[in-house]
Amino acid sequence: MADAVVNFLVENLLQLINENAKLIGSAKGELDNLLKVAQQLKGFLDDAAKLGYTNSEQWKVLVIEIHKTVHRAEDAIDKFLVQAKLHQDKNTMGRIFDWPRNLIKVRNLAAEIKGINDQVKEHRSNNQALQAIPVLELPKKGEVTQGPSLENEAVVGFDKEANTVIQRLVEGPMDSVDIIPVVGMPGLGKTTLARKIYNDSKLTYEFYSIVWVYVGQKCKAKDIYLRILKFFKKNIEDHLNDDVDTLAKAIGGYIKKGGRCLIVLDDVWEDEVIDHVRKVFAENKKGHRIMMTTRDLRVAKFANEEPHELKFLETEESFELLVMRVFGKGSCPNELVVIGKKIAKKCGGVPLVVVVIAGALRGRLDKKEWERVDKNVVQYLGDDTKDSCCLKFVKMSYDHLPQEAQMCFLYCGVFPRGFDIPCWKLIRLWIAEGLIKPQPESTLEEIAEDCLTDLLNRNLVIIMQKRSDGQIKTCRLHDMLYQFCKTEASNRCLFQEPDQSTLDPDTCRRLCIQPSNLSGFLSTTPFAEHVRSFYCFSSKQKPIDLSSNEIKLIHKAFPLMRVLDVESLKFSFSKDFNQLYHLRYIAISGDFKALPLTFGKFWNLQTLILNTSTLEPTLEVKAEIWNLLQLRHLHTNIPAKLPSPTTTTGKPSCLQTLSMVAPESCEKDVLAKACNVRKLSIRGQMAAFLGAYKGGINNLEELQCLEHLKLLNDVLFINKTLHLPPAFSNLVSTVKKLTLTNTRFAWSEADKLGTLEFLEVLKFKENAFTGHLWKPKSGFSALQVLWIERSELESWEASVINFPVLRQLVLISCDELDDVPLELADIPSLQEMRLDNTSKAVKSAKNVRDSKTSKSMKLKLSIFPPENESKVAQ
């Protein structure tokens, strides 16, 4: 983790030197020297991570020293830059800038870091000689090697799961090796389920040989082969020197002599393991099988595109397991049933958590003691005095992460427990915090999305909501994983909650605080220039009122702040806020009528999220945002009126998101400056914008990177019919996702969208089109998702010709629609249909589903309200 801190310092120095050459003036030489020694330290730390000698107590002490020194260097540089900026400002030109004092401080810090470099080098040389070669320990005779799991008798809620997997093992193809992966988060019971299946008597009738192999994180191919071979041959000493190919052939020979073989691979971490085990089935006409457990969805899908994803326990199942582990074969006393179910629910459906909590309850029959456990469920998850400590099992997954991903995972703990985290916000914060390293050919956002996908695949983050295009919309940490993040982040000084302890100036860089604790914290008049990030999250929609003095205290308390996310508060601006030059990320709410000129001074700003409660129809942007060369994302909850660039020359803006802007802001010079925008949302009176002969919507041709476009028409004249320009598809030819709301186009104009060759998601919301009949003449060649909401459509004719690759159809509040076209059943790719409050079309939707089923194609049909199902069935 130390290298991430140093990486941030190196990045900060590079940015300072490269982008502020005039500002730093004669200090460049000293800063160059500091950068040089910091880069040397970074190199040493990278080597330490690769060579794996970072677990000693000596190293941990050294890491603390690195943190403190690097943080002091950061503080000195950031203060230096603010002072230089203020000195440059016209209002402060009369002040004398103290160059010598600042240069001496930078020189001393460089010497300190050089001293740490020497210590790291010494530590490296001392440890390189201690690298040992791991020795294979084979299981003893008759022993089943396995990883951590629950006891056999503690199996609850797995009967249906076991039968499903057994059916897949028994059935399926006989002419190939079928692999059935069982995948789920740590503690969900993957090994327990695998053991239940392994011991099931049904399999002894189906398989001649059933082999159990515990794999784990460090198991090599040869180790796995020797463990399999030991099942077939008691003495394997004469094979210990064989290479992997020879071992694979030897195992294949034994398998060939017998009948069907099932190999169970427990706790698989790498996909190469699957390739290695496949080799033992060189000739397969008997229907051999491999069953495996893994935490990683990517590994599971490498083995089989349709893995068995283990479900969470229901509350009743959790309670049943809790009672079993607390009372054995006895029953739960009546007076403890209610509180027991409450405790079971807090275990979040994870068997391991239930078992750990049951250990805390065993032998306790006093209701007050159970109530005490109920209030402190989280505390027991992290009790590392017990061998069954949940967090130890999470740490196995954590340790297997790349170092950058470890920081990103722990960072999820800054959000409150049980908070649904918007993925776009999480990604923006990772970038602002410097946790995402640049890579060639990829944007920072793309790299961050890959990191989030990796965490999701490893079952360290739970998907809560998906977007229509399959992208993750919101995610959450399970309580067990959340507690791990809080504990580990605190140990590594990643972030801190002010009510936990006093602020440590050497370690505390990020503060996250609950709104209910904020006034009490501010009453202490804090001043913490070492703090770089301040968060105050809330699930409530309405911002919390604070006095103007309290808001000003936030501005004064953290003068070197980089990240400010206080959407949960009613915010206001002040003189001190205007001097927070290091801000990279701002998320605020308040009664804003305009974006002040002073925002143009935030030269590091990357993301600005501004929610206003003003009654004004638009938000005037007075700040010269085109001079903010780092600004990537601008989000406002009402249309923003953007200023025209003061010059059309120079570097284009790196803005990727403009959500949302007024139609009148889409002038040619504005969009030419914002030519890198990928996501654009336009809201306002669309008649003039769409109908302009020149300008207006025609200016969208400047956006050659545009992928997501939203057009939201504010309706004044209900009967006014708008028209799409004839060349619309040429203007937005790169768009992949298009949303239209209240545009009231005629259905005949929808054909103009069919020529968008990259269009994958199309959403018609709230009378996007008017009329009762839609009979498309063109084909939407790339369209995967079609969403129609609140439409007066009555009749719709369509077939595979119009939507050849459609994957999902969503119909919401289409009250007048009589039928879903039966011909949609001929679309091979159609996997899902959702009908909400579209009752007339339910019967036809079921016909489409039945027709696909008859063709051996699956279709998931969701109907709301669900009573429509019973009405149709009658």
* pLDDT tens per residue across span 556-611: 889 899 999 999 899 988 888 988 989 999 999 999 999 999 999 898 899 999 99
How many beta carbons lie within 10 A of that of residue 852, not counting itself?
A: 21
For 604-658, what is the HEC assignment?
CCCEEEEEECCCCCCEEECCCHHHCCCCCEEEEEEEEECCCCCCCCCCCCCCCEE
Residue 779 contacts residue 803 (beta carbons within 8 Å): yes
Residue with tokens 């308390």: 557
| Number of continuous H segments (helices) and E segments (strands) in the chain | 29, 29
Helix, strand, coil shares of the chain, percent, nearest 5, are 45, 15, 40
Tens of pLDDT, residues 527-547: 888 889 999 988 777 788 888
Percent of the chain whose pLDDT exceeds 90: 46
Enumerate the β-bridge partners of residue 762: 738, 786
Q: What are phi and psi of 661, to 5 degrees?
A: -130, 155
For residue 90, name the pLDDT band (cuts at 50, 70, 90).
low
Contact 731, 740 (CB under 8 A): no
HSE, side-chain direction, 13 A CA sphere, residue 866: 0
Question: How distant, in Å, are the alpha carbons of 82, 272, 662, 689, 724 from that of 666?
Answer: 35, 52, 7, 9, 17
CA 529 to chain centre: 30
Whole-number pLDDT of residue 517: 83
510-512 and 808-812 beta bridge pairing:
unpaired
CB-based contact 230:138 (threshold 8 Å): yes
| Residues 601, 580 contacting (CB under 8 angstroms) | no
SS3 179: strand
Query: 143 falls in which pLDDT band (50, 70, 90)?
Result: very low
**Interatomic CA distance for residues 697 and 453, integer angstroms:** 35
Give the rounded distance of the alpha carbon of 512 from its chain centre. Answer: 19
Mean pLDDT, rounded, for 636-657:
88
Distances from the Cα of 186 to the Cαs of 108, 190, 266, 460, in angstroms?
A: 47, 8, 13, 8
Contact 778, 800 (CB under 8 A): no
Most confident of 109-113, 148-152, 185-189, 468-472: 185-189
Q: Is residue 660 reached through a cis peptide bond, with omega within 30 degrees of 0 on the bond before it?
A: yes
Give residue 178's identity as a one-letter amino acid code: D
- pTM to 2 decimals? 0.85
Token couple for 318: 């959790």
User: How far is residue 733's CA from residue 49's CA, in Å, rounded to a whole number?
Assistant: 46
Report how far residue 200's alpha carbon sits from residue 690's, in angstroms, rounded to the nearest whole number: 67
- DSSP 8-state secondary structure symbol assigned to residue 822: G
* Whether residue 218 has pLDDT greater than 90: no
What is residue 873's predicted lDDT score, i.e. its pLDDT? Answer: 38
